[in-house]
Amino acid sequence: MNKMRYGFCLGATALAWAWSGISTPVHAQGAPASGPIPAFDSITAFGQQMGQAGIYFNLGYTEDFSRLVAGTPKVGTSPIGHANAGVTFDLERLIGIPEASVHVIFEERNGRSNAGGTDIGLNQNAGPVKYRLVQFYWEQGFLNDQIDIQVGRTEPTLEFAVSDLSCTSVTGIFCAQPGTWYSQNVNKAYPAAEWGGRINLAVTPQIYFKVGAYEDTTLSNGFLPAGFDWRTSDSTGVFIPAEVGYLTGFGSARLPSKYDVGFWYDTSQYTVGNQPGNPTVTGRQGGYIQLQQTVWRPDPKTNQSLTLFGGAIWYNNSPAYTGQYYAGLYDRAPWGASRPLDSIGLYGTMATINQSDTACSPINCTGTPHRGAPFDKTFLFEVNYGIGIVPGVTAKPYAAWSVQPFTQANPAAHVENGVALGVELTVVFEQLFNFPVFIPH
């Protein structure tokens, strides 16, 4: 089964949604994005007025220019663009429904991938120019948001096995989930949309528990349709994730941390290709644990800090992998007040290849037993430096190195180790314009 990355690279906008989605709920509010730039005063005033009325805009664009300088297949310089535009309606301010909001996001992709022969990806897959409605859901809080529910057209990508460091990497190591996540179940990731939702329970201000249920559907396969076909006749099953975690932030702890444990179960059928008769069975599972700890923060009045992180995910009845292990560090403002918007990221991962099972999904399976891979592990490493130009505008040069690249589409292939060099440019317009940012329940 060809791994369709579907990954997302939406910059700080989507990361803010992800971070608030996994945290314990807080009351919806508007927060200023960052320091104002005088040239945008009139635009800033418009955004502030709309926020006061209960309407919040988010708009971002990321362009990734990369080149595979070693390895195969080489496709030259590979530009990939991702644009997102969204609006959040605070229904408590607009029409007086307490703790309620509606979220809408549209997304556009363009460019071509240069993945370097690895499922995890030396850069994100793109594809033909396509505009999609990727999220359209209602969010409702209860008991001062101690219980928070999302339901509608959505997906679990911004909700489970993610953190504020997700997609600080440019490669697929940890964007938004660990990179092997997307090929090990039938459920599709952002920007595909399906019916679903989740419930988040704030056990304490730091401890949360959440569980979700999302539709598996063939309509989400590939880059079609555009998110407006909402029928359920093509559903193949249900994807059920759950997570419990401990979370603190820069505003509540000197050294913020996040620890979480999760599990998912996919009810869709799949075919076991290496057994006589290629039997069809039901149900796949995965479990994960993630650890993230800030270990250095010289001044609690700033976010200058060094954070260590790591995690592991294991699969049962997986078509390609038995697990993935990853670790790294993220340095915010490494030069202090002289470069407060800069960052340094180091990332590494090892995925263990399933040599005995060749399961595949009913959506994309030839029924032909796969030949075994020539090795049982694959590795990917990345280093990047984020250059904060102005608030909301970042240039991120990076280098990535793939060792023993593996792809589920051709597991027996001997692919050369790959090296990619590139730069990712990101503009988060609500930060650039100093718009208020809606904090989801």
* Rounded mean pLDDT, 340-348: 97
User: Does residue 362 sit in helix, strand or coil?
Assistant: coil
User: Does residue 37 sit in helix, strand or coil?
Assistant: coil
| Residue 25 clears pLDDT 70, i.e. is over it | no
What is the pTM (predicted TM-score) of this model?
0.85
Which of 176, 160, 154, 181 lies closest to 86 in space, CA to CA? 154
Across all residues in the chain, what is the average pLDDT?
82
Which of 102, 107, 161, 108 lies closest to 309 in space, CA to CA? 161
Question: Quick one: pLDDT at residue 373?
Answer: 61
* Rounded mean pLDDT, 41-56: 92
| Residue 130 clears pLDDT 50, i.e. is over it | yes
Q: At 363, list the tokens.
A: 């959506």
pLDDT category, 280, cuts 50, 70, 90? low
User: Does residue 46 sit in helix, strand or coil?
Assistant: helix
- The rounded distance, in Å, linking the Cα atoms of 1 and 309 is 30
Q: In CATH terms, is domain 12-438 a member of 3.30.70.1230?
A: no
Which of 140, 176, 239, 168 lies closest to 18 in space, CA to CA? 176
Question: Quick one: pLDDT at residue 115?
Answer: 67
Residue corresponding to tokens 């644990």: 289
Domain boundaries, the chain: 12-438
- The rounded distance, in Å, linking the Cα atoms of 195 and 151 is 8
Greater pLDDT, 358 or 408: 408
- How large a percentage of the chain has pLDDT more than 90? 51
**Cα first-last separation, the chain:** 37
115: left (phi over 0), alpha (psi -120 to 50) or beta: alpha
CB atoms < 10 A from the CB of 27, how many?
12
CB 396 within 8 A of CB 426: yes
* Rounded mean pLDDT, 81-102: 94
Where is 109: in which H helix or E strand?
strand 100-111
